[in-house]
């Protein structure tokens, strides 16, 4: 079974919306505003590219990343990887060209089936709604969280408010940085 990794920039109060400056959110761009950049805090981002063998997106995140990431040197290792987009509305003509093999999945069952295929880890960036649904369905195996020392209040959250059984996590890697950023890697305990 393939490992599904959710990777996210998240505020201390759980907000993941518009970390890079996406329009329409009051605190858009919060990851770099008034935050000293320390390269070592983002080392995990390079490691993710080396370890992942496929990418998973919800439609909204795919539509945000796909026009930009294919031509960015910082994300060159992702370019040839297969990409899977979970959407009930996206059509083939909505896929970008020149970003490797891309497949539209229509349901969480399709994601579960993908996890059963041969291959290495699948990384999911952004995709707040998909993340909440996959987490609630027990389909995420690992979390890579860069936690920013900010309280943003309103905004899309990483985890749902669904009333469900406790989901236990095991901290497998942790680092705190001088700028207050924390890197936490959790495995989901089954």
Q: What is the pTM of this model?
A: 0.95
> Which pLDDT belongs to residue 3?
98
Cα 168 to Cα 142, 165, 187, 188, distances in angstroms: 11, 9, 9, 6
Q: What is the pLDDT of residue 23?
A: 85
For the CA atoms of the chain, what is the radius of gyration? 16
41 vs 39: CA distance, rounded Å? 5
pLDDT of residue 21: 84
Phi, psi angle pair for 81, to nearest 5°: -70, 145
The pLDDT, as a whole number, for residue 34 is 82
Tell me the pairing of strands 142-148 and 182-188: antiparallel
Three-class secondary structure of residue 123 per DSSP: strand
Within a 13 Å sphere around the CA of 51, how many CA atoms are in the beta-carbon half?
A: 16
Provide the pLDDT for residue 72.
93
Shortest CA distance to 99 belongs to which of 78, 119, 84, 126? 78
Query: Which tokens go with 185?
Result: 């890697």
The answer to whether the Cα torsion of 72, 76, 79, 82 is positive or negative is: negative
Average pLDDT across each block of 10 residues of the chain; the chain has 190 residues. List them in order.
97 94 90 91 96 97 94 93 97 95 98 97 96 97 98 95 94 97 97
């Amino acid at each position: 079974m393939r490992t599904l990794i959710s990777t996210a920039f998240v505020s201390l109060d759980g907000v993941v919306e518009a970390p890079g400056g996406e329009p329409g959110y009051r605190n858009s761009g919060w990851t770099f505003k008034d935050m000293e950049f320390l390269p070592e805090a983002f080392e995990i981002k390079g490691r993710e590219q080396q370890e992942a063998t496929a990418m998973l997106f919800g439609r909204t995140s795919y539509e945000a990343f796909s026009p930009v990431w294919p031509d960015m040197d910082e994300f060159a290792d992702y370019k040839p990887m297969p990409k899977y987009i979970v959407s009930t509305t996206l059509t083939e003509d909505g896929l970008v060209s020149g970003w490797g093999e891309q497949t539209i999945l229509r349901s969480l069952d399709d994601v579960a089936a993908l996890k059963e295929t041969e291959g290495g880890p699948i990384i999911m960036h952004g995709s707040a709604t998909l993340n909440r649904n996959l987490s609630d369905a027990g389909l995420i195996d690992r979390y890579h969280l860069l936690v920013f020392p900010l309280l943003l209040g309103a905004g899309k959250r990483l985890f749902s408010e669904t009333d469900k059984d406790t989901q236990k996590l095991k901290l497998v890697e942790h680092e705190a940085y001088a700028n207050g950023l924390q890197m936490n890697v959790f495995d989901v305990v089954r």
